[in-house]
Amino acid sequence: MKPNLRNFDLEEIRNFLKDLGEPSYRGDQVYHWITCKAALTFEEMTNLPKNLRKELDKHFSLSLPEIMELQADEEGTTKFALKLEDGEIIETVLIPERDHFTLCVSTQVGCAMGCTFCLTAKSGFKRNLEVYEIISQVIIAKRYLKEKGVELPLRNIVFMGMGEPLANYKNLIKALKILEDKRGFNFSRKRLTVSTAGLVEKIYELAKDFPTALALSLHAPNDELRKKLMPVAKKYSLKDLIQALKAFPRVKNGRHTIEYVLIKDVNDSLIHAEELARLFKKLPVKINLIPFNPHPELPYERPEEEKILAFQKHLLSHGILTTVRKSKGLKISAACGQLRRRVIEKVLTPDTCDLKTAVRTGAVL
């Protein structure tokens, strides 16, 4: 199988071109095509000699994952189920903001972290994504926006889709570097957010290697409850985590993000809010409350609206910046892993409708 050219950074691509007897600026041209212009074929690269285009095609692939299904709600949140070359399926979500789009990308097929409130965890871990499989999610989103004639730019990338990003460390770092490279995608470092369930050693490594905006998936204000919700907490205490957080450079508005899924009667009381406030009182963080998205396979419920607001109010009263994530995409299998699960079930069901036809005709939009 030919290597996918999206696996490589500019220096590597320049070297490939050099090996083909080409000057280094040809590498820059090719890199521009595969990043800024989101090219799908070498044939599109009209400023390259025809022979070179053929030669590149002989050695490299530019293939993208296949869009198995996409769902969009009326606000413009669009969820993609993408089929990789080995048949595995991942999810990517495009979220409209006031003046830009944010893309939530996956870094693994499945996840080994085993969080009890997460559908992805139920399918277990399959494999890490390659660099080109991470980058391809960005290309697919860019092309989608272009084809739809949407003018708002894709400005933010959050590594919060399927998988634990820091468990696929090497590929994550390379993908981040490619996304930041000013000669290509040119995403600002503070607009690249890496989330983690809390792999403490890797947080220190990221701080050293490529500090981005950081989002810590906390979900519980004490070790006892956290261990029940997130097996990773059995290895790393909150004390260790907060220590790592303090040591991490703050690139985004001087604040780290704390993600907290609010689950009815599990972690949503005012006692929990008070514990959370005490943990972060003196730290520059933003707490993002995410009301749980219910699913028949998960044993939890979403708290009532009043309880969500009371939780937020309590944190705000302690001077902690706290937002409640809007339920964008509630109608479109928005919880992590839901669309993937639905597509896999459909594909495995013999009398399924033709998904590709459905996508082509817009029937799923």
Helix, strand, coil shares, percent, the chain, to 5: 40, 20, 40
* Minimum gap (Å) between residue 290 Cβ and ligand SF4: 10
336 is catalytic: yes
State yes or no: is 91 an active-site residue.
yes
Burial of residue 227 (CB within 10 Å: 0-12, 13-18, 19+) is: middle
Q: Looking at 69, 91, 130, 180, which residue is catalytic?
A: 91
CB of residue 337 to ligand SF4, shortest distance in Å: 7
Contact yes or no for 336/120 (Cβ under 8 A): yes
Residues 6 or more apart whose CB falls under 8 angstroms from that of 119 comprise 295, 297, 298, 335, 336, 337, 338, 341
Structure tokens that stand for 69 in this block: 């299904």
Residues contributing to the site for ligand SF4 (CB under 6 A): 111, 113-115, 118, 120-121, 162-164, 197, 336
By C-beta, is 62 or 199 nearer to ligand SF4?
199
CB neighbour list of residue 312: distance below 8 Å, 6 or more residues apart? 289, 322, 323, 324
Strands (E), the chain: 66-72, 78-83, 89-96, 101-104, 108-110, 125-128, 154-159, 192-196, 213-217, 256-262, 285-291, 321-324
CB 119 within 8 A of CB 335: yes
d(CA 340, CA 363): 18
Closer Cβ to ligand SF4, 69 or 259, answer by number: 259
Distance separating alpha carbons of residues 362 and 112, to the nearest angstrom = 34
Which residue in 104, 111, 118, 336 is the catalytic one? 336
Q: Which is nearer to ligand SF4, 10 or 109 (CB)?
A: 109
**Least distance to ligand SF4, CB of residue 118, Å:** 3
Q: How far is the CB of 354 from ligand SF4 (least distance, A)?
A: 30
Q: Which is nearer to ligand SF4, 4 or 257 (CB)?
A: 257
Q: Min. distance of Cβ 333 from ligand SF4 in angstroms? A: 15
Pick 198 or 221: Cβ nearer ligand SF4? 198
Annotated catalytic sites, by residue? 91, 336
